[in-house]
Amino acid sequence: MTILDKIVEQKLREIKFAKSHTSTEELQQSTFFNRECYNLNEFILNDGRNGVIAEFKRASPSKGIINDTAEVQDVAKAYAASNVSAISVLTDNVFFKGFREDLMQARTAVDIPLLRKDFMLDEYQVLEAKAWGADIILLIAAILSPERIKTLAAFAKNLGLNILLEVHNQEELDRSICDDLTAIGVNNRNLADFTVSLEHSYELVSLIPDEFLKVSESGISNTDTINELKSAGFNGFLIGENFMKESDPAQAVKEFTGRL
């Protein structure tokens, strides 16, 4: 069983439990549900911002604990002050040590787009994302059929959310593209064996239609790489561990983005 299989199995249990405890009506009555989402295109393509989607990530299956002392509000404020285009917040608890409260606290701390970084399988999770203050959801091609991607993307778009589709290879890209997506991310990390190679980004960038934002994800640790990815055609750069592994992620993001 791969890590993705284990994550999906766990998610299905969590969704069943959540549905039995909180109704969709209750989610729709929450504080953030009716707020208008930020438009990701505007924040990524804005000249005053650097295209970085900075991630709040305490732990991961590949690295174990990355940072279990950083406070989400402090880190989110520092990311926003460094002109990032969006912030990704892990809400998975079992594998990444994230909480829905992380997303909600980030929402109250900053005025830029927030990505609910989780393993979305069900419309209920999309409603949760909206209720917890997200502007963007992630759909991972490796765990969803083309039909589910289309249905979940349409459902999310109808709620005003932006949709980031994540692919790892051309086969996933070809079978998963659909109209309602906002951005397509190429994950440089193979989620089955955790190997990281930026070659995945370089191989796929020209195959992504220009109507979508193009995001390179994972394993980015220096600004030269960002400049090379920009030249190749990317306009978004998802970075987690490089900031979170430092005892002071706020200082790390400031120094990094100061070089862009």
Ligand X SMILES: O=C(O)c1ccccc1NCC(=O)[C@H](O)[C@H](O)COP(=O)(O)O
How far apart are CB 14 and ligand X at their closest, in Å?
Answer: 16
3 lies in the site for ligand X, by CB under 6 A: yes
216 lies in the site for ligand X, by CB under 6 A: no
Using the contact rule CB under 6 A, the part of the chain among 19-27, 34-42, 55-63, 145-153 near ligand X is 55-63
Task: Give yes or no: 55 in active site.
Answer: yes
Among 14, 55, 118, 180, binds ligand X (CB under 6 A): 55
How far apart are CB 188 and ligand X at their closest, in Å?
Answer: 8
Task: Give yes or no: 221 in active site.
Answer: no
CB 229: neighbour CB atoms within 10 A?
24
d(CA 36, CA 42): 14
Q: Look up tokens 């070809």; give the residue.
A: 174
238 lies in the site for ligand X, by CB under 6 A: yes
Residue 211, class by beta-carbon neighbours within 10 Å (0-12 exposed, 13-18 middle, 19+ buried)? exposed
Residue type present at position 72: V
How far apart are CB 231 and ligand X at their closest, in Å?
Answer: 20
Q: Are residues 216 and 238 in contact, defined by beta-carbon separation less than 8 angstroms?
A: yes
Among 126, 134, 161, 191, binds ligand X (CB under 6 A): 191
Show the tokens assigned to 158: 């109808």
d(CA 102, CA 213): 26
Show the tokens assigned to 260: 């862009």
62 lies in the site for ligand X, by CB under 6 A: yes
239 lies in the site for ligand X, by CB under 6 A: yes
Q: Look up tokens 């079992």; give the residue.
A: 94
51 lies in the site for ligand X, by CB under 6 A: no
The one catalytic residue among 150, 214, 218, 241: 218
d(CA 188, CA 134): 24
Among 102, 135, 180, 241, binds ligand X (CB under 6 A): 241
Helix (H) or strand (E) holding 171: helix 170-176
Active site (catalytic) residues: 55, 57, 117, 166, 187, 217-218
Question: Which residues bind to ligand X, rule: CB under 6 A?
Answer: 3, 55, 57, 60-62, 187, 189, 191, 194, 217-220, 238-242
